[in-house]
Amino acid sequence: MITLITGGSKCGKSSLAERITCSFPDRKFYIATMRPYGEEAFCAIERHREMRHGKGFETIEKYTDLGEIVLPEKSAVLIECMGNLCANEMFVDNKIINPVDKIINDIEYLADITKCLTIVTNEVGNDGISYESGTEKYIACINEINRKIALSADNVIECVYGIPVVLKGELHC
């Protein structure tokens, strides 16, 4: 089962994703995709570590190439977050590549071997602001990734001010 959770910044996506993943009795893995660069990133990483402390998650820090991860079958997996993963895959060696197919293939692989795959993503590009070309390409890629995951997902949930709004499927937690 795939659940995609979307929403704006600090709207409760991560808490909801943890509740959904924790509702499964099997082994739980947290795939952390944020590279630890700068004080803001370190603070966010620490906040997320504290949030999942004592909940039985096994953390895997993997910033790219999620298809390389070996997991026990039928486990529960939370990916935090697609926005970071997209940026990590996209901006490589001072080149901008299109990571859509690679990320979608990696997600399909993880969905095939897991019982519960919960993916946190971000709403980006809805502000109507024009950005430089690299940022515009990032927005296009993350939106295409989100759209493709949403099409194949069993559940799509938007968090709005901490309130889960089910857009597809149902809320399991």
C-alpha closest to that of 118 among 88, 87, 163, 159:
159
Percent of the chain with pLDDT over 70: 98
Determine the structural domain holding residue 116 and report its residue range.
2-168
pLDDT digits over 106-143, tens only? 999 999 999 999 999 998 877 667 778 888 999 999 99
pLDDT, average across residues 35-41: 78
Classify residue 144: in a domain, yes or no.
Answer: yes
pTM over 0.85: yes
d(C-alpha 75, C-alpha 117), whole Å = 9
pLDDT digits over 62-104, tens only? 999 999 999 998 899 999 999 999 999 998 777 888 999 999 9
Rg of the chain, C-alpha, whole Å: 15
Domain count across the chain? 1
Specify the pLDDT at position 15. 92
Classify residue 109: in a domain, yes or no.
Answer: yes
Classify residue 75: in a domain, yes or no.
Answer: yes
Average model confidence (pLDDT) across the chain = 91
Classify residue 173: in a domain, yes or no.
Answer: no
Whether 10 shows a pLDDT value over 90: the answer reads no
Kind of pairing between the strands at 114-120 and 2-7: parallel
Classify residue 150: in a domain, yes or no.
Answer: yes
Percent of the chain with pLDDT over 90: 70
- DSSP annotation of 6: E
Q: Any idea what the CATH number is for the domain that residue 52 is in?
A: 3.40.50.300
pLDDT higher at 156 or 132 = 156
